[in-house]
Amino acid sequence: MTTLLVLRERIKTFYARFGVYIIWALRFVLAIAAFLTISRSLGYMERVNRDWMAACAAVICAFLPNSFMVVLAGLLVLLHMYAVSLEVLFVTAAVFVLFFCLYYVFQPGDSVLLILVPLLFLCRLPLAVPLVMGLVGSVFSVLPVSFGIIVYYMLKYVRENVGVLASNGSLSMPGRYTQMINGILQNKEMWVMVTACALTLLVIYFIRRLSVNHAWEIAIGVGTVANVALLFAGMFIANVSFPVSTLIIGAVAAAVCGLVLEFFVFHLDYSRTEHVQFEDDDYYYYVKAVPKVAVTQPEVTVTKINAKTSYDKSVERELMGLRQELSNTAELFSSRKDLEQTRVLFKKETEKKAGKMTENGEGQDGTHNKNL
């Protein structure tokens, strides 16, 4: 466990240092996944089905708020709906306008869920979103989660019935309107999923806010069981079918995601719980304080080993003695050399003076003899 806690602290430190770049990268990945998914699953307008266009739009969305990504994805969907028929375009646009109006009135902070929910449905992980949002979101997070589910099923219905809804199909204009509206309102599978996910989110939200030990773990377990139970109940009541294996695997994956999120966000040490009571002029306060589990990252110290530290002290003293002797010998050689040079110079000076004295003596004798 200590190793995991140290790893968590290192991840938090890394995110605190490079958080801006990580958010840009995640926005880019989410945007390009959304745009490519729309082009691959719908793809009715050939002009906008270009990978380079999706990549350029994703780069722009990476540096802008999430709401811009949602609006751009909505416009791309509307372009493909226009290629099907005007009736499909008008119904889809009306649904989008209704969703955006309700969404931005009640919960304007979770716009990314309108893209993330359909993508997770395509990845066969639909139960992860209500569980995670029940842990970190609010009551109003039900709105974007429900809207994302409705958008997924609406686009799925258009994809499966494009031959009937197309402008060159067998239906007339009023028939296409009726077919599109009934396809949305009478989709029992969609409403069962919306109801199950909304109730699961609310159950998890209220349980994790309770002042009990291990509230998040209890909320994850109860929410996972409640979600699966609600979906099975909806299958019998509404007479719809869901793949059982996909539901079980998705529920387990959602529980794992919740536990990982709890480890990073709400990992507490309940063995050191304290209950504090104090008062002011108007109220008594009963506070339950539970410390977070945290560890100090081990400091890595690098020690430079010098070659001198590996010597034995006796060897070092012997080397110092040898150095001293060599220094003395060098000084002795230098002194002898200087003495020899002094002797040579003295000898040359002596010989030079003797030669001058001899020349002066001969000259005087020669002059004296001449005078005689």
pLDDT digit string, tens, across residues 50-72:
888 889 999 998 898 888 888 89
Is pLDDT above 80 for 358? no
Question: Number of helices and strands (H, E) in the chain?
Answer: 13, 2
Q: Using the 8-state DSSP alphabet, how is residue 213 labeled?
A: T
**Choice among 83-97, 217-231, 330-344 with the minimum mean pLDDT:** 330-344
Is pLDDT above 70 for 108? no
C-alpha closest to that of 130 among 231, 70, 204, 67: 204
Which position has the higher pLDDT, 50 or 299? 50
**The token pair that represents 319 in the structure block:** 């080397």
Which position has the higher pLDDT, 309 or 324? 324
Is pLDDT above 50 for 371? no
Q: Using the 8-state DSSP alphabet, how is residue 288 labeled?
A: E
Mean confidence (pLDDT) of the chain: 78
Which position has the higher pLDDT, 343 or 287? 287
pLDDT > 90 in the chain, percent: 7
The answer to whether residues 127 and 42 touch, using CB atoms and an 8 Å cutoff, is no
Is pLDDT above 70 for 259? yes
The answer to whether residues 234 and 200 touch, using CB atoms and an 8 Å cutoff, is no
What is the helix, strand, coil percentage profile of the chain, to 5?
A: 75, 5, 20
Q: Cα separation of 257 and 27, whole Å?
A: 20
pTM of the predicted structure, to 2 decimals: 0.72
Helix axes 51-62, 2-41, angle to 10 degrees: 140
pLDDT for position 332: 55
Distance of CA 313 to the CA centre of its chain: 53
Angle, CA 343 vertex, CA 338 and CA 349 arms, to 5°: 125
Is pLDDT above 60 for 361? no
If phi > 0 it is left, if psi is from -120 to 50 it is alpha, else beta; for residue 239 that is: left
Q: Please enumerate in sequence order all residues whose Cβ is within 8 A of that of 131, keeping only pairs 6 or more positions apart, or say none.
A: 200, 201, 204, 220, 223, 224, 227, 254, 255, 257, 258
**The token pair that represents 185 in the structure block:** 């309102």
pLDDT for position 312: 54
How many CA atoms lie less than 13 Å away from 248 in the CB half-sphere? Answer: 3
Q: What's the mean pLDDT in 150-160?
A: 88
pLDDT for position 364: 44
**Choice among 36-45, 144-153, 267-276, 357-366 with the minimum mean pLDDT:** 357-366
Cα–Cα distances (Å) from 279 to 53, 186, 283, 285, 290, in that order, read 62, 57, 6, 6, 20
The answer to whether residues 104 and 140 touch, using CB atoms and an 8 Å cutoff, is no
Residue 339 pLDDT class (50, 70, 90 cuts): low
Residue 166 pLDDT class (50, 70, 90 cuts): confident
Q: Cα separation of 230 and 218, whole Å?
A: 18
The answer to whether residues 183 and 157 touch, using CB atoms and an 8 Å cutoff, is yes
Distance of CA 337 to the CA centre of its chain: 76
Helix axes 86-106, 173-185, angle to 10 degrees: 40
Is pLDDT above 60 for 303? no
Radius of gyration of the chain (CA): 44
C-alpha closest to that of 118 among 85, 91, 157, 82: 157
Residue 199 pLDDT class (50, 70, 90 cuts): very high
